[in-house]
């Protein structure tokens, strides 16, 4: 049996506020990414930030909830 301890996180990516952006930050992001799907781009930025912090995506559901795990620190 493994002694690895895991941490788990559920992240709501349904809107920019849930991702930690203020309204002015969201408007700036929209302007910067106006030629793309800004919401998808924002979600990808946030997922990559979590990955850099050691989080691994393990699932997603239809309610915009993304499940992550990482080795406990």
- Give backbone dihedrals phi and psi of 26, rounded to 5 degrees, phi first: -65, -45
Q: What is the pLDDT of residues 30-64, one digit of tens each?
A: 999 989 998 889 999 999 999 999 999 999 998 88
For residue 11, give both structure tokens. 């992240």
Q: What is the pTM of this model?
A: 0.79
**What's the pLDDT score for residue 1?**
65
Q: What is the pLDDT of residues 8-34, one digit of tens each?
A: 999 998 888 888 889 999 999 999 998
Per the listing, tokens 């992240």 go with: 11
């Amino acid at each position: 049996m493994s002694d690895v301890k895991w941490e788990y996180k559920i992240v709501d990516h349904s809107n920019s506020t849930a991702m930690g952006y203020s309204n002015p930050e969201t408007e700036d992001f929209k302007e910067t990414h106006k030629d793309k799907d800004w919401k998808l781009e924002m979600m990808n930025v946030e997922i990559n930030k979590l990955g850099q912090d050691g989080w691994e995506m393990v699932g997603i559901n239809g309610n915009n909830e993304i499940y992550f795990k990482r080795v406990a620190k």
